[in-house]
Amino acid sequence: MKKLLGLIVLLVVLTFTLSACGGEKTSSNTKEDNNGKSSSSGGESTEGKRVSSALMGLGFEFMVMLNDSSKETAKENGMDMQVFDANTDADNQATQMQNIIATKPDTILLSAVDAKLIIPSAKAAKNAGIPVFRVESKPLDEDYETWVGYDNYKAGEMAADYIAKVVGEKGTVLEQRGMVGATGADLRSEGFNKRMKKYPNIKVVTLNNEWVADKAFSNTLDAFTAHKDIVGTFSANDEMLRGVVSALKKLDKLKKVEESGHIVMVGVDGTPLGLERIRDGIQDASLNQDAKEMGKVATERMAMYFNGDTSYPKDTMLEPVLIDKNNVDDPNLWGNVMASKKK
Amino acid sequence: MNSKSKTGFIQILRSFGRKFSDLQGLLIAILVLGTVLSILSDNFLTGNNIVNILYQATIVAVVALGQTFVILVGGIDLSVGSLIALSSVLSVGLTVNNGLPPWLGITITLILGIIFGLAHGLAVTKLRMPSLIVTLASLSLASGLAYVYSEGQNIIPVPEVFETIGNAQFFGGQIPVFIPFALVLIIISYITLTKTRFGRQIYAVGGNQMASRLAGIPSNRVIVIAFVISGLSAAVGGLMMTARLQSGSPIIGSGMELTVIAAVVIGGTSLFGGQGNVIGTVLGVLLLTMASNAIVLLSIPPNYDKVFTGLVIAIAAALDIYRQGKNTTNMSRLKRSSSGKEVAKNSNPKTEQNNSNVS
């Protein structure tokens, strides 16, 4: 028993050492502490305004970047921003919204986990007189001040055209699909599949990976068993391509972009890892979803709102931009910004 | 005890045979699904596809082995999915961010899995907390730590050792190293549960904790070790997944606890503890992997794939119940299936009665 106790003490010490290792790196990314300033009523100024940011999930690099850039913009304008992470759980987010509304912030920045399920919360915020600034997923209600999103449908279309052109408009193309029911995933898939109908000699096989890289791995392995003429793949995010790459490696089919037998790979988002793969010549292209711009624009609009200027459009969709080896080193790409921050 | 070891070998053979007959329902489900698949798809019964299925099954299998121990002692470990994520980011991050040599990063990761298991076991035995709550807390805690440590990002590049292991293949590049590795762990677990005293203690504790304690079995220690095995196997699973996906990621493994528990329970291990075995777990994992294989081979559309998986699980469970009802009563199955009965019987005649009460 004494031995066991000794062992436990040792292990506990180890844990603390470990959490210390982790601890020092988190300062840049965790919640900005709210100094508890009460909002200066009236007054056309952004200084000291309290803003709550309810985000769908900080497990995605995209969201981390959006959060960083919106916090930066808030700071520049002297706003206090408090961040809530719903961890992709819609119910969790509804609870968070209730709590946020109870603290009566001046505005709310909201990226909804589920556009439908957030409607009651959005209404409640409106009834409480708190304007909601939406980012990312498209609102299905009308109770918001402004929305800055991304043209997911067009991203799917552009990927279809790109792949069709590179593979010579024939063969089987795998679609690595995101979560069924998630607005972004559905629109990307719809855009991709509708546009692919223009190319009768291309067959699309959809793999339902629910955004998960390991599912993409398993399903891609199986797809190569079932289909012999796979020439390319479209992935609804860059993350799932990790699984695709591992599967291709396992099948000994991982070839560089210029080599023969290369499987054309197009992702969405432009994550740091995606850009790295484009640089390495493994991935052909990614459709940039500018997380940095999205967080910045939405927060700037908040600042405008506080200054009494509401001349911004109700809905804004950021255009997908194709990243390939020609522009992958552009330092303004959010994936590069994020990677350089890390170093 | 000495006389037992002489007949031990025969007993193992016999118990192996019994365990297979116990699992007929699951075997039938696998055979039916296999037959249907090979009729509907030319690609199912090919060497490549079989290897793929086995390869895909390895990680879930390893984690499910640990889970089997925990469920056998009457507990449950919900933290495994999050532990996979935590060990993934730690094993890579300790090298990439903190400059430790890879072997040390991997060792610390494994120790962390053990710590979590130890904490679960102690909370369950000393603090009398339900394992469901304890490991639910860890599910959140470990996942949170993984996000905090990684700042929500993939950690790259993975140390070379991961790439080497992830890409290593045996038998002329046909068999990924994960398959024999998982097989070895399966055999070790099987022998541990059937051949060793610890194994018998597991069944005894799971069958009736009070009685086994009265019989002089250190039930607390047995339970703690079971949780440690599960924590360690989750950490190993995390390392395997890191090697397979070539990056340390805080998202991987999330939700995997359900697949793992499903595999164990489909495999015939009772959630009340005391009955079940490793072969069942392995078959359970295989069935679930075959279901996901079938979804792609048969091009089942995205909206229906969950329906399909659900049906496969339901049919497997139904076949098992049907078989039980036909051959034996539920009660006699419980008595017959665990070698724990012997231990208990030798020491306390009352045990058997108690044992039946559990069901």
Average pLDDT over residues A278-306: 96
Residue B1 within any structural domain of the chain:
no
Token pair belonging to B141: 């805690």
Residue B358 within any structural domain of the chain:
no
Residue A24 within any structural domain of the chain:
no
Whether residues A61 and B154 touch (CB distance < 8 A) is answered with yes
List the single residue in B111, B250, B253 with the smallest CB-CB distance to A11.
B111
Give the closest-approach CA distance of B20 to chain A in angstroms. Answer: 29
In total, chain A counts a number of residues equal to 343
Query: Quick one: pLDDT band at residue A91, thresholds 50, 70, 90?
Result: confident
Q: Which amino acid is at A3?
A: K
Residues 62-101 of A with CB under 8 A from B: 63-64
Residue A209 within any structural domain of the chain:
yes
Residue B40 within any structural domain of the chain:
no
Q: In this model, does residue A20 exceed pLDDT 50?
A: no
Residue A84's DSSP bridge partners are A54
Residue A270 within any structural domain of the chain:
yes
**CA B206 to each of CA B16, B220, B339: distance values in angstroms, whole numbers, following the listed order:** 20, 11, 11
Residues of chain A with Cβ-Cβ distance to B90 below 8 Å are: 18
Q: In this model, does residue A121 exceed pLDDT 80?
A: yes
Determine the structural domain holding residue B82 and report its residue range.
19-34+45-349
**Which SS3 state, helix, strand or coil, does residue A173 take?**
strand
Whether residues B147 and A8 touch (CB distance < 8 A) is answered with no
CATH number for the domain including A223? 3.40.50.2300
Give the closest-approach CA distance of B341 to chain A in angstroms. Answer: 28
Residue B3 within any structural domain of the chain:
no
Residue A233 within any structural domain of the chain:
yes
Residue B39 within any structural domain of the chain:
no
Closest-CA residue of chain B to A210:
B302
Separation of alpha carbons A142 and B191, rounded Å: 63
Query: Quick one: pLDDT band at residue A310, thresholds 50, 70, 90?
Result: very high
Q: In what order do the strands lie in the sheet with A315-318?
A: A80-85, A50-55, A107-110, A132-135, A146-150, A315-318
- The C-alpha angle B234, B240, B245, rounded to 5 degrees, equals 125
pLDDT, position B345 = 41
DSSP assignment of A20-51 equals HHHHTT-TTTSPPPP--PPP--S-S--TT-EE
Query: Quick one: pLDDT band at residue B142, thresholds 50, 70, 90?
Result: very high
Query: Quick one: pLDDT band at residue B139, thresholds 50, 70, 90?
Result: very high
Terminal Cα-to-Cα distance of chain A (whole angstroms): 46
Separation of alpha carbons B340 and A56, rounded Å: 49
Note the pLDDT tens digit of each residue in B6-51: 566 677 666 666 666 666 778 888 998 999 999 998 889 888 899 9
Determine the structural domain holding residue A220 and report its residue range.
152-288
List the single residue in B152, B241, B296 with the smallest CB-CB distance to A223.
B296
Residues 6+ apart with CB under 8 A from B292: A218, A219, A222, B56, B309
Residue A16 within any structural domain of the chain:
no
Q: In this model, does residue A12 exceed pLDDT 60?
A: no
Domain count, chain B: 1
Token pair belonging to A285: 């292209």
pLDDT, position B330 = 44
Selected for mutation to probe chain A from B153, B155, B179, B259 (highest A CB count within 10 Å) is B153
A175 touches chain B (CB under 8 A): no
ipTM of the complex: 0.72
Residue position matching structure tokens 């339900």: B130
Domain count, chain A: 1
